[in-house]
Structure 1
């Protein structure tokens, strides 16, 4: 069975969505390792409840970001993971880490990339008067939130919506589409080649499968 590692920094809601999809065999794989860069977070409790090995790596225990990422990479290599899923992992990965696992790292971001990379995406959408927002699953490259887009889901923004309402609406879609993308990868349908995402050997457009 193929192996997944999940990197987290918080509540682990997307982690739970993937755990559930593996347990129901929607995803033909198992999560073998959960890595966190923060201690005492609920995501670690989720991993423990599911019987998944977890380990915490704290930045202040390492001389540099590179040393920390090398240690994490060495840990992941012990498990021979096929895919690394970033699920709310709030630390920028070093280029060396990304190169080591090129084509095997995916992330989910709460905006319709390339719009609103970085933080505070819901507030940015409100401030701009946008009528829609959404979430994006993409391959990870050395530029933050700039890897090849795989799948997006859009949500409407209505008059009088708050940041909290838009976030809840977006997160609901995150928990739906992230397991789909993981499933594609585990079924050997999804791959990254020369910086382009391919699904069933067909290159995806810039905005991913949703706009195909």
Structure 2
């Protein structure tokens, strides 16, 4: 059984929807895992959306560790506040059995204090080697540069933003409809929105199939690298495009 840490700032509805999705898949027996602890850099009362997230966590009986990064930054400013904050989190979660921590809407850059202590995974809405930055920035660059293929990846978190080793990915072509009509509009914001919609609906299936592969030993994370079940390095990550498309087709 895969023992998960689940880490989120939980500032939007997507973070709650993803946690609900994973809990549902675990309960249904589709994912051989348990969530050992939910971790957040916000505390109750900082945001109504985050409070709703915490209410769901408690309703599931999941352990919850909260520390306010904004409060620490205000009371103890300095260039190393992230390191101090991550050291605090590491002490808080060391009592829990964790195989891997998934960053699900976590809005801080993680320092090497956590990166070197736990395998941390994050989803980035671009293919390996593709654009970095927020999803808005990624989609805008794809639209402006006339990209003909995109996707998303799960990668190992390192202090270098969005450039950790790839664990898994999916890809799909930006050809035909609805992309052609969006290009013909001449408005890159329209095209960016269409690309985002197609990428977004594949994110949950990618996360689920990646977690299933980890739970089944088909993917192994060691020393900030990803390997297949036979111990071979996954140089470019595991291509889960077929599984993602099958999941979409099943609805």
**Equivalent residues of 1:4, 1:83 under 8 A apart:** yes
What is the aligned partner in structure 2 of residue 29 from structure 1? Answer: 33
Q: Which residue of 1 aligns with 2:187?
A: none
| Residues 205, 15 of structure 1: alpha-carbon distance in 2 compared, 3 angstrom cutoff | same
| Aligned residues: CA RMSD | 2.2
Residue number in structure 2 paired with 1:112: 127
**Alignment length, in residue pairs?**
209
Mapped contact 1:111–1:134 kept (Cα < 8 A): yes
Whether the 8 Å CA contact 2:226–2:237 is kept in 1: the answer is: no
Other structure's SS at 2:164 match? coil
Query: For 1:175, what is the secondary structure of its paired residue?
Result: helix
- Verify the 8 A CA contact 1:14 1:178 in the aligned structure 2: no
Corresponding residue of 2:150: 133
Q: Residue in 2 aligned with 1:208?
A: 238
Deviation above 6 Å: which 4+ runs of structure 1?
none
Q: Which range moved further: 112-121 or 195-204?
A: 195-204
Q: How far, CA to CA, are the matches of 1:115 and 1:200 in structure 2?
A: 26
Are positions 1:179 and 2:208 aligned together?
yes
Cα displacement (A) at 1:34 = 1.5
User: Which has the higher mean CA deviation after the structures are superposed, 13-22 or 167-176?
Assistant: 13-22
Distance across 2 between alignment mates of 1:198 and 1:19: 26
Q: 1:199 matched to which residue of 2?
A: 228
Q: Partner residue of 1:82?
A: 99
User: Contact between 2:156 and 2:225, CA under 8 Å: does it hold in 1?
Assistant: no
TM-score (norm 2): 0.74
After superposition, the C-alpha distances for 1:96-149 in whole angstroms (9 at most, x for unaligned) are 211111xx2111111112211222211111111112221101122232111221
Structure with the largest fraction of helix: 2
Contact 2:128 2:236 in 1 (8 A): no
Whether the 8 Å CA contact 2:83–2:113 is kept in 1: the answer is: yes
2:10 equivalent to 1:6: no
- Partners of 2:236 and 2:84 lie apart in 1 by 34
- Unaligned regions of 5+ residues in structure 2, if any? 183-189, 242-251
Q: TM-score with structure 1 length normalisation?
A: 0.86
Q: Which consecutive unaligned segments of at least 5 residues does structure 1 have?
A: none
In 2, Cα distance between equivalents of 1:16 and 1:180: 16
CA distance in 2 between partners of 1:106 and 1:23 (Å): 22
Render the CA deviation track for 1:182-207: whole Å, top value 9, x for unaligned.
12222333223455421112322325
Indicate the structure (1 or 2) with the bigger Cα radius of gyration. Answer: 2
